[in-house]
Amino acid sequence: MAIVTQQRAVTSNAPDSGQNYRGPLIMVTTLFFMWGFLTCLNDILIPHLKAIFDLNYAQVMLVQLAFFGAYAVFSIPAGFITERVGYKPMMVAGLLTMSVGALLFIPAANVPSFALFLTALIILAAGITVLQVAANPYVALLGPPKTASARLTLTQAFNSFGTFIAPPIGGILILATAPKTAAQIAAMLPAELQAYRIEQASSVKMPYIVIAVALILLAVVIGRFKLPHIPEAEGGHAAVKDDSIWKHPNLVMGAVGIFTYVGAEVAIGSFLVNYLHEPYIGNLDLETAAKYLSFYWGGAMVGRFVGSWVLQKWPPRTVLAANAFIAAALVCLSMASSGNVAMISILAIGFFNSIMFPTIFTLGIEGLGPLTGEGSGMLNTAIVGGAIIPLLQGIIADRIGIHHAFFLPAICYLYIVFFAIKGLPRNRMA
């Protein structure tokens, strides 16, 4: 049965021409860059913390569980608050919360403590959650509905630019010092081990101090910038008493789509450095492998610039189905091969990831009107897939090896194919 889009409320009050909204779109796009950069730094933190604290794959994936688990806790409350106070105040609140989380990396590195690192990541992610709940629907609504997917894809391209430059910068600043082997760590005395961990952990301090300062400055700029209001997309239950987000099948299925997409994207990115480090894949040292990670995220950036044009020419669901199918095929190819073929196929997935999040998101909130804030909260809650899928893959990797544990992202991409095709037959929502 095809998904039925309910158009019972106005989606946006923006005029057909987005020319007057170029300034606000540019300003909000800087937010996409910042949270992309910070999210991708986790892929550098994972091998770094794994080496410092001598963790297995399942244990180190607690980094992603802490980070993306915050979406499950804070997204829906942020959606309710956004409906009542508006998008701009929530953007400022998100940036300031992120700065607090970034500053907490300093005491976490001084101790050092894996638990404190996880706490800092939770607070940082809480701020990013608030930011996403406000910024994603704001961009989708700031213009005509027919170009919402293309518009959000374009702004997401700058999010990908942040993920593109984060690995080489993080690799240089955080992974520059070669870690000791597990055997060397096991041979250390307690005092030597503590000194080693403090030395290794100190490399995260300066990057996150700079990030905190940048976030505070950006919060001031956003707070002083005049962003247009979209009153038709605010008001929630007061405006539509008999409506509910659960009456919109496109939203519910879209939430599952966001869960599987983010889970697959993050799982692949989280394991890439260690995957390329394997002798039968790339046999690269960790710092060099971190540089290759830029090809994965850089592919998403290029794909989003291309996708913003393609989505104006082709139905979003058609493009989404094609990209998800190719991504699943590339995962299978990487699992079935080794060496350069395995490397290139897994890195190429980034290009086909490009349009998935913005397309699923805009299809999910289509027709929500005053419930857009609450719907955005639901979709952002589904980003918790980035916590659960990598953790499950870590558990699987500890048992069957990292190479074949990628079957889990392949299953996730196949659901996205199903979601995209499900809406096509009767009403062609795209």
Q: From the options 3.30.930.10, 1.20.1250.20, 1.20.1430.10, 2.30.42.10, give the CATH code of 19-422.
A: 1.20.1250.20
User: Considering the chain, what percentage of its residues have pLDDT values greater than 70?
Assistant: 87
Q: What integer pLDDT is reported at residue 234 of this predicted model?
A: 54
Residues 180 and 345 sit within 8 Å (Cβ to Cβ): no
Mean pLDDT for the stretch of residues 392-421: 92
Question: Would you state the pLDDT for residue 124?
Answer: 93
Between the CA atoms of 71, 276, 331 and 160, what dihedral angle is there, to the nearest 10 degrees? 50
Whole-number pLDDT of residue 228:
76
CA distance 385 to 62: 13
Reply yes or no on whether the pLDDT at 236 is more than 70.
Answer: no
pLDDT in the model for residue 153: 82
Cβ count near 79 (within 10 Å): 28
238 or 260: which leads in pLDDT: 260
> What is the SS3 assignment for 369-430?
HHHHHHHHHHHHHHHHHHHHHHHHHHHHHHHHCCCHHHHHHHHHHHHHHHHHHHCCCCCCCC
**Least-confidence region, from 4-13, 22-31, 306-315:** 4-13
| 322 closest CA partner among 355, 344, 364, 347 | 355
pLDDT, tens digit (0-9, with 9 covering 90-100), for 12-39: 444 444 446 777 888 888 888 888 888 8
Mean pLDDT of the chain: 82
Q: By the 8 A CB rule, do 356 and 117 touch? A: no
pLDDT of residue 420: 92
Over residues 278-286, mean pLDDT: 85
Task: Using the predicted structure, report yes or no on whether residue 425 has a pLDDT greater than 50.
Answer: no
- pLDDT of 158 reads 87
pLDDT exceeds cutoff 90 at 161: no
Residues across the chain? 430
**Average pLDDT, stretch 388-401?**
91
Report the candidate in 28, 37, 14 with the shortest Cα–Cα distance to residue 90. Answer: 28
At residue 282, the 3 state secondary structure works out as coil
The pLDDT value given to residue 321: 95
Confidence bin at 3 (pLDDT 50/70/90): very low
Percent of the chain with pLDDT over 90: 30
Q: What is the pLDDT of residue 121?
A: 92
Cα–Cα distance list, 184 to 176, 335, 381 (Å): 19, 32, 41
Are 325 and 349 in contact by the 8 Å Cβ rule? The answer is no
- How much is the average pLDDT of 327-334? 96
